Structure 1
Amino acid sequence: MTQQPPPPGPGFGPPPPQYAPAPPPYAPAHPPYAQPPYAQAPPQQAPPQQAAARPDFLAVDKRNAVVVDASGVAFETSGLTVEFRWPEIRSVHYRASPDGKALMVAVVHMDGRFYECVVEARPRTRLQEWFPQLAWVLGHYRPMG
């Protein structure tokens, strides 16, 4: 099945608040060595060309995660991480779980070994957001030729 990747967007942005680490309760709002907020320069953003040149994909739930980026594919399952570099990957496959509640991603290693990671999509509509993003990122790093 051949699909055209969607046009590059502004990026995926920061992780949702529930996945971002909470600041320590003892941290002051402004460290004593920092300048007041009005004196700080705004953070520099990468030009859109650089952001589009190195896309990545992240799907995460309470126990599992799938990351696809310039280095390859990484699965995290219950705290264990397995990384697959692009030169050792024969193919990457993905689909919805039979009940439609999760993303199933499989990596086939060059020697034929098969690895799979399942990430629950909550809310369920997130699964429909992940499919075009994942297709575009995989198409960027592994174009079908």
Structure 2
Amino acid sequence: MEQRIGPSIQPLQGAAADPAFVPGITGAQPAAPRDDVPEQEPAVEAEDAPEAVDAPEAVDDDAAPEAPDEGDVPADGPVFEAADRRARIVADGRGVRLALDDQECEFRWDEIGAVETETARFGKRYTVTVHTPDRRWYPIEIEARSRAQHAEWDKQLDAVLDAYFEE
């Protein structure tokens, strides 16, 4: 029987060895060759330029950014919102939105696999973790004013999950 002496080190897989492993990260784009750049016309001097006419700009309805469809979000449904000086979480009919300092992320209800809450044994930290179906998780910690607020937040978040989250 053969035995290895020393540590059994598994080969690195994932983002540690290959940054392209992380979804959403794209590699550097090669610069466009100079011969593909179209020739620019020489600038027209101000004396030769025709006078500009103030014409109303045409509004293209197809080019306008799509606003979230408020018709599918009930206005009177339950909403959970908790925030401290750095972190913020909002859960409503549109989904769950997490913010920490200047970083934000938003999850629609169909993108969420599970929502987990945890309270610290000592202290006032309340942790909400959003799990996605592709086995990723996004935790956020919010510091409550008192430990009694944890029970209130649990009740509010449970009401939102019961209303909008389908297993």
How high is the TM-score relative to the length of structure 1? 0.59
Match of 2:118 in 1: 95
The Cα offsets for residues 4-60 of structure 1, whole Å up to 9 and x where unpaired, read as xxxxxxxxxxxxxxxxxxxxxxxxxxxxxxxxxxxxxxxxxxxxx952xx2110010
Q: Does 1:78 align with 2:92?
A: no
1:142 positional shift = 1.4
Give, in whole Å, the separation in 1 of the partners of 2:163 and 2:126: 20
Match of 1:141 in 2: 164
Note if 1:125 corresponds to 2:132. Answer: no
Q: Report the identity percentage.
A: 36
Higher normalized contact order (CA 8 Å, seq sep 6+, divided by chain length): 1
Q: How many residues align?
A: 94
Structure number with higher strand proportion: 1
Which structure shows the bigger proportion of residues in helix conformation? 1
**What TM-score results when the alignment is normalised by the length of structure 2?**
0.52
**Offset, 1:124:** 2.8
Higher gyration radius (CA): 2
Structure 2 CA distance for aligned equivalents of residues 134 and 100 of structure 1 = 20
Q: Does 1:56 align with 2:61?
A: no
Structure 1 alignment gaps of length 5 or more: 1-48
Q: Does structure 1 residue 111 correspond to structure 2 residue 134?
A: yes
C-alpha distance after superposition, 1:68-106 (max 9, x if no partner): 011111111112111111111111111212324121101
Q: Where in structure 2 are there 5+ consecutive unaligned residues?
A: 1-73
Identify if the C-alpha distance between structure 1 residues 132 and 85 changes in structure 2 by more than 3 Å, giving closer, same or farther: same
Measured on the aligned residues, the alpha-carbon RMSD in Å equals 1.8
Runs in 1 of length 4+ with deviation above 4 angstroms? none
Distance in 2 (CA, whole Å) between partners of 1:93 and 1:136 is: 14
* 1:10-89 correspondence to structure 2 within 5 Å: 51=76, 54-89=77-112
